[in-house]
Structure 1
Amino acid sequence: MKKLIPLFLFICNVSAYAQADLITNIPSRKTTSLNGKWQYIVDPYETGFYNYRYQERNENDREAYWNSDIPENKTDRKEHGYSDKYTLNVPGDWNAQDPKFLYYEGSVWYKRSFDFTKSDTANKVFLYFGAVNYQSDVYLNGKKLGQHKGGFSPFQFEVPDNLLKQKDNFLVVKVDNKRKADEIPTLNTDWWNYGGITRDVLLVEVPQNYIRDYFVHLKKGSTNEIEGWIKKSNNGNEAITLEIPELKFRKKLAATGDSIAFNFKLSKLQLWSPENPKLYNVVIQSASDRVEDKIGFRNVEVQGSKILLNGKPVFLRGICIHEEIPQEIRRANSPADAIQLLSQAKELNANMVRLAHYPHNEHMTRTADSLGLLVWSEIPVYWTINFTSNEVLEKAKCQLKDMITRDRNRASIMIWSVGNETPVHEARTAFMSNLVKTAKLLDSTRLISAALEVHNTNGVQVIDDPLGQYTDLVAVNEYLGWYSGLPSNARTAKWEVKYNKPLFFSETGAEALGGYHADSLTRWSEEFQEWYYKEQVEMMKRMPENFVGLSPWILNDFRSPRRNNPEYQEGWNNKGLFDQKGNKKKAFYVLKAYYDEMEKNYKK
């Protein structure tokens, strides 16, 4: 039990308002959806939050936008109001729903009225948000429940019994997506800053004593030994039963506190893999609570310069994905969106996806489980955040903890990533290595990585980023022939890696405007991108034995304000293998042929 203590003492405390500890496996709980159309007020001056002296309004201030907008009588002055004339869909980003929001960065107030009757078996109710970008202040019936920062993290607040009503509850969320230098991510990114309540909003009902968190996994190095822990919401002696019906396994676990550790062996256990994404129904039950989950069992480890999956070397046929549906120019947010994106990856014959550059919707990781796609999941520690700030480090740790807490039972996830392309200097390496250590503390069963820096020395691509001594594999982004030179430069490229670890290309790619055709020397054409991938593939075939795979940039074209060529970009990063309309570009077929070949080679 001692080894469990650090996990449960790791507490996020980056704002002045308390959040409840995350409840694992929200889909298995009794929930009431608050998705749908929400009324809104655009508030660029934050008038609803600050008075004219720019001081935060007090809770009972009738001009605060979290309070009722209904006048008490005909003489009552109200300078704000919620109306069905102005509505936004939740979940969804505001940018895609009205042209006036396209580039908007600021505050929008969301309001949802609802009725609610607590079920007879529930004692506690939590208000759960899958994600809100970026800062949210949450009010129910005029009372502040709390504040959250982080655009891709789930969070929840316990709702006091005396606050919920059976009729006419008034839920208001102030959403602010302004970029700031001391946040995660920081001011400068290469993706669209979609604002809004971008994921599900749910009321979650649980009993007084409930199963809060758990981790059920295959022991490292084993093929049939299951271990893990269960975390209860209370310190009582209530026993827990763990059951896997398909294997006719049922075990009663004694409890002497709020945490229970377990270890047992199973016969005839089928291991999860991309070729056989076997999931078992796992039931965890107490006298008052019951949760079910679909869990796969597999082992991932590094042995020398190889990555082993279930004891066998694996070559990662990957692709990077942004959480975006390009045909509709919006954030992905539904199970159907997850199926669309991951099915495209399967068409490529990928066995792995890199979810860039932030934790994606839970629909993505659960769908990856069922489709048999390995996952690299990453927090948005991106480029040039403030590496000297302890406060920023704590924010990064909180986002890391939330990512791992939500998805640690997903068999598909093989790599937790702590960042992308961070510049090498002492403060940065101390910051990033701290995150690596934190990730290993939270989950020792997976590989930890980051996209490291690489530099050219007299024609040799040298990887000696000091962060590489801490990560389990050496992953770098390389764009030989796009950001410098021509694709043919890859023919003479040599690689020198300081560390005896697996080498993985976490990005590579070139832009092409879908449907634009010319000769292969013409940048922005599909033929140039096709040439780029042909040269890359030939280079991959010459890579040293420690080369274990790649995840090119990127599956689909996506929106980015950094990309402003008026003829070939117009606010799009067009490195996708699928274009803005969902059509395959010529480079798609080059990469797929390589992946087909590598799949055959690894089956021999």
Structure 2
Amino acid sequence: MFRKVLFFIVIMSVQNLCVAQVSFLQNRENINLTEWSFRKGRLNYAEKFSVMENDWEKVKVPHTYSMDAIEDIGYYKGDAWYRTLVEVPASMAQERIFIRFEGVGQEAQVFVNEKRIGKHVGGYSAFCFEITDLVKHGQKNLIAVKVNNSPNFKRIPVDDNLFNHYGGIYRPVTIFSTPKYNISPQHQASSGVFVELKGLDKKTAKLEIRTHVSNTSDQKKAQLKYTIKDAKGKKVLSFVESLDQSEPNHMVSSTFEIKKPVLWNGRKNPHLYTVEAELVNGDFVDKVVQTFGIRTYSVDANKGFILNNEPYRLYGVCKHQEWKQFGPAVSDENLIKDMELIDEIGATALRLSHYQHSNTTYDLSDKKGILTWAEIPFVHDYSGREGKNAKQQLTELITQNYNHPSIFVWGLWNEVRAYNSPDEPCVILTKELNALAHELDKTRITTSASDRGMTSNMGNISDLQAWNKYFGWYYGKYEDMATWLDKFHTKYPDRKIGISEYGIGGNIYHQDRSKLEKPNGNFFPEQEQSYYHELTWKILKDRPYVWGSFIWNMFDFSVAGWNRGGISSLNHKGLVTFDRETKKDAFYFYKANWSEEPVLYIAERRNANRKLQTTIKVYTNLNEAIELHVNGKQVAVQNQKSDVNIMKFENVELSEGKNIIAVFSKGKALKDGVIWTVQK
């Protein structure tokens, strides 16, 4: 099947990215709710004004109450309450007022001035309520939120075997206002504006823009004014749609053309157009600004991924949203740091595991040109009762992120197993999710990540299939990756094969490969992780029919209850440590192979206690002579011979005591150095 797809929208300027707020709120009066009172535990009537907060903790949102998941084995799962008082300015008095949560883990009941306004189930997507009739002007308004992260078999994910289910208001909360006649912020908490590519040739891009409008005023007539600008801010075109709103909610569709379109072309040129949508009703204007890109893609069983009619290798990493210091309650600064590291390594693709991530992350993927796999948390186990919530979360994922040009697939599940029959509830649900995804978005394809065989009851229902393969760590040998790929590419020549996860553990404090205890032991040497990736990347690199490959994981992350690799509650498979302080050797190996930035790096540097005769391994993508110096003297010169950018200096003589090891590129433009010790 050759399936072409589009794309387009949403990204903010770098300045706006530093504000924890989605782009479509930028032109609306808004209040970012950061100061809250917090108390953990089951409380009655905590939404009441009469409740005293003497024993409540003062916290700032983003916030999580589950840091014990990182610090200890096991963590609190249950109720918690957040309360804040906010005075809504008089300037909002004649407008509609909304409250929007970008993410609350895992369920939230929201109260305004003691009135329950709604409940949201699902810990990773945004939700929005209108509170116009409940807000009192000229006095403090009480916002109370009851949060719960207990297991719920009617909610995905149904258990936390793969990652922690953090509790808390861990993403931004905003109160904002719009005119009574607005571009609806309540259409699944999205921007209300959707751009779709309908046709493309070298001269013209034909697009459709759909805008969801909502009206509570007596005025029925209005205008939708659109202005399209290119990446440099130059006006491309503008047009107007006249509205005569007979229904309170309505989707308005318009078509337009861009002449000589510039394509969004991954890392080569992530060109983004801007659309300014203004709903004008007399003197009232509601404005939403988004950006969009134009592209096509397909997947071929032999050529792999095709972007804008040209082969484009997809190689990258998977990513969880948490940091050691903050859990999931990260700032935009943290998210930017993560994406800078992913950009630095040279990844062309990113799998955002295993749930909807912050809008900022998708925005940065758009801007940096990183093709992104977005998915819902339908993972591992199933109850047979989570179907309604899975469909809700998929609807929210697609609707809230529909316009991101970086997103190329919707992920439906990860490692969900139907052992007994093709009629198990998880199989039926997957078919329903696949149909729903295509109903909501006719431009993208679906995928899933299997840990079973090439064929299984859950397999090959989504448009694309990928496999989580850990050869040599949980089973077999590292070299089996090549055998498996070649065997099944030959057996199923028309099947598109992707590797959704691969990797092994690596602890930077472990530096003796002879002590390796895989996969569940207490010693995960960093050198073993590097060796695995050196071997596995060559296998993947030499097989362009693999439509995409994703390292598990970019960053170490927490799994409460795990006790492996010498640090409890931690998955050590990251290329960067959980605190983001240390890039492991394998990070530099991939940077030398993926990035266009010059790399010269001495590997195994933390293995600092050496023998008198040693091997010095260097990762470099420089096509020039590399000089090795020991204690200030040049001892060897080599040119690159490896097709995976590994250089080894064998049988290097050291001296007793400290040794200064240095490598230099030709002309000394680039250098790296370490100090190693030979015990007397």
* TM-score class normalised by the smaller sequence: 0.7 to 0.9
The aligned amino acid for 2:66 is: N
1:193 to 162, 165, 177: 165
The aligned amino acid for 1:251 is: F
The answer for unaligned runs of 5 or more in structure 2 is 1-20, 185-191, 518-523, 599-620, 622-642, 644-680
In 2, the alpha carbon distance for the partners of 1:261 and 1:581 equals 46
Q: 1:92 to 1:488 in 2, by over 3 A?
A: same
In 1, the alpha carbon distance for the partners of 2:493 and 2:128 equals 42
**5 Å matches for 1:121-270?**
123-212=95-184, 213-219=192-198, 222=201, 224-234=205-215, 236-245=220-229, 246-255=234-243, 258-270=250-262
1:271–1:298 contact (8 Å) kept in structure 2: yes
1:348 aligns with 2:345: yes
Q: 1:256 to 1:423 in 2, by over 3 A?
A: farther
In 1, the alpha carbon distance for the partners of 2:59 and 2:223 equals 45
**5 Å matches for 1:49-448?**
64-69=45-50, 81-83=52-54, 86-96=57-67, 103-119=75-91, 123-212=95-184, 213-219=192-198, 222=201, 224-234=205-215, 236-245=220-229, 246-255=234-243, 258-273=250-265, 274-287=267-280, 288-303=285-300, 305=302, 306-326=304-324, 328-386=325-383, 388-389=384-385, 392-424=386-418, 425-426=421-422, 427=424, 428-448=426-446
Task: Give the match for residue 30 of structure 1.
Answer: 28
In 2, the alpha carbon distance for the partners of 1:186 and 1:444 equals 29
Deviation at 1:325, TM superposition (A): 1.8
Task: Give the match for residue 548 of structure 1.
Answer: 547
In 2, the alpha carbon distance for the partners of 1:193 and 1:160 equals 33
In 1, the alpha carbon distance for the partners of 2:390 and 2:225 equals 35
**3-state DSSP of counterpart to 2:295:** coil
In 1, the alpha carbon distance for the partners of 2:101 and 2:80 equals 16
1:24–1:406 contact (8 Å) kept in structure 2: no
**3-state DSSP of counterpart to 1:406:** helix
The aligned amino acid for 1:82 is: E
1:408-462, Cα deviation, whole Å (9 max, x unpaired): 111111111111111134222221121111111111112211112432xxxxxxx
**3-state DSSP of counterpart to 2:151:** coil
Deviation at 1:135, TM superposition (A): 1.2
Task: Give the match for residue 585 of structure 1.
Answer: 584
1:508–1:552 contact (8 Å) kept in structure 2: yes
The aligned amino acid for 1:269 is: P
The aligned amino acid for 1:483 is: Y
Deviation at 1:190, TM superposition (A): 1.3
TM-score in terms of structure 2 length: 0.74
1:487 aligns with 2:471: no
1:329-387, Cα deviation, whole Å (9 max, x unpaired): 5215322122111111111110111110000011111121122211111110011122x
Q: 1:185 to 1:101 in 2, by over 3 A?
A: same
In 2, the alpha carbon distance for the partners of 1:100 and 1:491 equals 39
Q: 1:509 to 1:571 in 2, by over 3 A?
A: same
Q: 1:487 to 1:65 in 2, by over 3 A?
A: same
2:274–2:289 contact (8 Å) kept in structure 1: yes
Deviation at 1:304, TM superposition (A): 5.4
1:297-355, Cα deviation, whole Å (9 max, x unpaired): 222233555332122221112100000123x1521532212211111111111011111
Count of residues in correspondence between the two structures: 538
In 2, the alpha carbon distance for the partners of 1:31 and 1:256 equals 26
1:378–1:416 contact (8 Å) kept in structure 2: yes
Query: RMSD over aligned Cα, in angstroms?
Result: 2.8
2:62–2:329 contact (8 Å) kept in structure 1: no
In 2, the alpha carbon distance for the partners of 1:259 and 1:24 equals 21
The aligned amino acid for 1:173 is: V
Q: 1:113 to 1:120 in 2, by over 3 A?
A: closer
2:301–2:493 contact (8 Å) kept in structure 1: no
TM-score in terms of structure 1 length: 0.83
Task: Give the match for residue 59 of structure 1.
Answer: none
The answer for unaligned runs of 5 or more in structure 1 is 1-22, 49-63, 71-80, 456-462
The alignment-based identity, stated in percent, is: 26
Moved more, 93-102 or 140-149: 93-102
